[in-house]
A and B are shown apart, each in its own frame.
Chain A
Amino acid sequence: MNEPLQTSGSLRRRLMLQLVGSAAFLATLLFFVVLGFARDVAQQTHDSILLASATSIMDSVSVQADEITVDIPYAALSMLGNVSNDRVFYRVSTRDDVLTGYENLPTTSQSVRSGHSAFDTLTYKGDSIRMVTSLRRLSLNSAPADIIISVAQTREGQAAQLAQLSRSAMQLGLGFFLVATILAIWAAQSSIRPLKQLTEAVSRRGPKDLRPVQRPVPSEMIPLVSSLNRFIGRLRVSLTRSEDFIAEAAHRVRTPLATVRTQAEITLRRVDRAENRASLREMIRAIDESSRAAGQLLDHAMVTFRIDSLERKAIDLTELGRELVDRLQPIAELKDIDLHFFGSGNPKITGDAILIQNAVRNILDNAIKYSPNESAIQVSTRQNGNTARIQVEDEAGGFVGMDTDALTQRFTRGENAAGTIGSGLGLTIAREVVEAHGGVLIIETSKTGTGACVSLCFPLH
């Protein structure tokens, strides 16, 4: 669960890249379409002026006394000057003769019929020109004669205009791209949001929360959420089943043990012979030993399991200590031990109350177990600085000559443990719980050497 998962890219990034990529493609397309359209429009305008100019020249051609006369109107050429400052060329010719204008102006390669005209883009004296060629058939000396009029203009102005146009088209494309990118980021963000919200809702849950996910989700996520819910359901069933199983198993083992123990106690009351009594006592001890070991092993397993997904709730250490002391009072009483509780303040810590209760319980069990009859045990809570502490002091001689670090290892018991029932897991459980809560377990012998002083220190809530 805690090892990093392999990613196969980010959905959001993928979505965004796709959207931005399409935007870039559309922006480029837009650029070329606008540019092409503008170029066409400019060309058409230019062409129509050229044609108008050629037509007005054509209108000025007349046949007088079998002579072709051309009187080029001023307006015919000046209208072209209105468009740009480009140079204008013209030529009026018949099939054989140039009547007026630039003789070496190129001729069109297209065949033009009378009353029609053709447009060409050509090179003249190193410059690109646009030329219109119009033809009209006249009758001269009772014979048909073709009048060909060409009007041309260099295209520098048009080129400048086109450059201007393409700059505008470029700006338009870029603007489109920018707006589309912002929209893409927003769209990617907002389509990912339900996923994020679902993730938060699921990860905010406590370790024991195995309810199905109920919050409304977009329809595309329904399959994911319903399989998540089915999975949670299966997990819940199998957890309940294994909890039930443990309960059932414990019940089946412990109930007959209880029978045997009770019978042994009854028999012990009835028999008088010393050997029989000794073996019955041994039997009871063995039962206690095994049930204690089983209990501790199970507790230890449960503790390890709960530590894995630690619950984090506010716990009042004083309240917890007082409850425990109340609960253990009858056991202390059996040995005439004065079990006192002294809570100073209400230090609050964060964690799993059941675990902490179990940890303190183990320390307190030890104190009672190793204490002589008619001694005293003091349990106290206090707060100093940033730590909350619950401490158990007894008069059982303490850990003199023992390696306290080793005692917190599993199944390790001290020399003073001979004869007492135990499994060597108590201090282990306590240390593991305290450390899982970011605290420390301090195992000391009181300065006077009268007994143990075991403290569980936790960071304050």
Chain B
Amino acid sequence: MRFLLVEDNISLATAVLDRLRMDGHVIDHAANIAAAEDFSATADYDLILLDIMLPDGDGRAFLRAHRNRLVETPVIVLTARSEVSDRVGMLDLGADDYITKPFDFSELEARCRAVLRRHGGDSSNQKRFGDLIFNPLAGTLSVGDKTITLRNKELRLLEIFLSGPDRIYSKPKLVDRLFSYDEDVSENAIEVYVGRLRKHLSGSGVEITTVRGLGYRMSLA
């Protein structure tokens, strides 16, 4: 996906860029409203992540102008404010959603997905691997003429495997990415999800193999 991040704090921006690039997203960074306007005028983004407190003005001003330009690109606001005092306004001003700093990237991803889905996210985002067609936005997986809807954790697990086919993912790393930090889960919990995915993938020519002592790998049979 292609993101525009509007954030004046350079260290946060750098961290977010790194983090999102890790998942294979393309992301541009604007440090103020003026730059944000230049970027959004010249490139097409799937989503804009907008900080509210910016050096050359309130992010709300950008939001309003952005909406007046009738651009479809959805905007998720990054806010530091208490929700009670700031809740009104963001959504009324035309933000599609907002998330409070500091944020969990799985939550950010989930919110992005929900926003894009609401915007009628297109199927051009489909990923193909072997005989399977995966639509991450809709969360559907098609093998031949059979289409099923994946549960969220199955979907995220599949996304992880698809982002690096033939790579080995260790159980602890998969746990980190699938479960939130306040859940105490044993590494074996991952086996359940891998088991389910294997079942969904049967007949697609794609298989998840267990690499003893190391983890799992997805590859074409």
Contacts and interface: CB of A to CB of B under 8 A. Distances in A.
Interface of A: 243, 246-248, 250-251, 253-263, 265-266, 268-269, 272, 274, 277, 281, 284-285, 287-288, 291, 295, 298-299, 302-303, 306, 327, 329-331, 333-336, 354-355, 357-358, 361, 369, 373-374, 419-421
B15 A250 contact: no
B122 to A, nearest CB: 20
A268 B19 CA distance: 11
B220 to A, nearest CB: 25
Given A246-B85, A281-B181, A259 B15 contact: yes
A330 B114 contact: yes
Given A269-B22, A302-B82, A374-B151, 16 more contacts: A247-B53, A250-B81, A251-B53, A251-B80, A259-B12, A260-B102, A265-B105, A269-B176, A281-B176, A284-B181, A291-B100, A295-B83, A306-B84, A330-B114, A369-B182, A419-B184
B80 A250 contact: yes
11 contacts: A247-B85, A250-B81, A254-B101, A255-B101, A262-B16, A262-B105, A265-B19, A291-B100, A330-B110, A354-B88, A358-B84
A274 B172 contact: yes
B140 interface: no
Contacts of A255: 9, 12, 80, 101
B75 to A, nearest CB: 15
B200 interface: no
Interface string B6-18: 0001011001101
Nearest to B15: A262
A306 B85 CA distance: 10
A329 B107 CA distance: 11
Nearest to A373: B153
Contact of A298 (B16, B82, B97): B82
Given A255-B101, A302-B84, A419-B184, A262 B111 contact: no
B106 interface: yes
What is the interface of chain A mostly: helix, strand, loop, or mixed?
helix
Contact of A303 (B84, B106, B111, B153): B84
Most A CB within 10 A of own CB, among B22, B84, B105, B151: B84
Contacts of B176: 268-269, 277, 281
Given A255-B101, A336-B151, A329 B181 contact: no
Contacts of B82: 246, 250, 295, 298-299, 302
B67 interface: no
A272 B214 CA distance: 11
B142 interface: no
Nearest to B21: A266
B148 to A, nearest CB: 15
B87 interface: yes
Contacts of A358: 83-84, 87
Nearest to A298: B82
